Amino acid sequence: MLKILTSPEAENDLDEIWWYIAQDNPDSADKLLDEIEETSRKLARFINMGRSRDELHPGLKSFPVGMYLIFYMPICGGIEIVRVLHGMMDIDSFF
């Protein structure tokens, strides 16, 4: 079974994303988090799908889901999701 770990920061990111979107549309918030979860499973299977983000942190990768980016690190048997950030944010400031 593939391993998907989620950092506390990424858990907080996902909570904030859900709450922000759910204020206007809870169904859309649920759908986006489902898409992020499904994409995370694909990334755990195909670790090299993401773009290398060594400029932010050695070994870091990112992959888009809608307007958001999943930042993850390959680990033995899967991935660790490090952050989930909106693409318009100042990404450098989080790493």
Cα 84 to Cα 1, 48: the distances in Å are 23, 18
Q: Are 89 and 77 in contact (CB under 8 A)?
A: no
The predicted pLDDT at position 56 comes to 96
d(CA 34, CA 50): 19
SS3 31: helix
Beta bridge partners of 4: 79
User: What local confidence, expressed as pLDDT, does residue 74 receive?
Assistant: 95
Average pLDDT over residues 2-11: 96
Tokens 């993401």, residue? 50
β partners of residue 75: 78
Type of residue found at 36: I
The structure's pTM equals 0.94
Write the pLDDT tens digit of every residue in 49-82.
999 999 999 999 999 999 999 999 999 999 999 9
Where do the domains of the chain lie, and which CATH numbers do they carry?
3-94 (3.30.2310.20)
Query: How large a percentage of the chain has pLDDT more than 70?
Result: 100
Residue 12 pLDDT class (50, 70, 90 cuts): very high
Mean pLDDT over 14-20 rounds to 97
**pLDDT at residue number 14:** 98
Section 21-31 average pLDDT: 97
Pairing of strands 51-52, 3-6: unpaired
